[in-house]
Structure 1
């Protein structure tokens, strides 16, 4: 199953985000088989990130929850909240991002 995972960061935590970034990116590389797409969310292109969005392949929501808890952004205290939704493609072929 595919899931869309939307994260919100704690406000005013750009310094913490930068401190955890290398570990977070390494974690994402190690989990590319599950986290199919990932990136930050920003109110404007030049603004600081306020959260993130992933597309995750997992058996169920519990697997997604367990996965995200091992992410350094989560365990390091950057994240304020998360929304996990079942995602269903409109087009059968993968979209190249």
Structure 2
């Protein structure tokens, strides 16, 4: 099943982001088979991230919740909130970018 995950960061968390960014990227890289798309979300291209968006392939919503709990951005306390939603692609034949 496919899921979208939306993270909201705590206000003023930029220093945590900078400190843990490389560990977070390495963590994501190890999970490319499961986390199909990942990236930060911002109001403007040059503004600080407000959170992140992932597309995840997993067996269940509970598997998704277990997945992000070991992410360095989660374990360092940077994330304020997370939403996990089931996702149905409109065009099944399209691959994810």
Alignment of 1:39-78 (within 5 A): 39-78=39-78
**What is the 5 A alignment of 1:13-92?**
13-92=13-92
**Alignment partners' CA distance in 1, 2:3 and 2:36:** 10
TM-score, length of structure 1 as denominator length? 0.97
SS of equivalent residue, structure 2 residue 92:
coil
1:49/1:36 CA distance change after superposition, 3 Å: same
Q: Deviations over 1:73-94 (max 9, x none)?
A: 0001110000000000000123
TM-score between the two structures when normalised by the length of structure 2: 0.97
Considering only aligned residues, what root-mean-square deviation do their CA atoms show, in Å?
A: 0.8
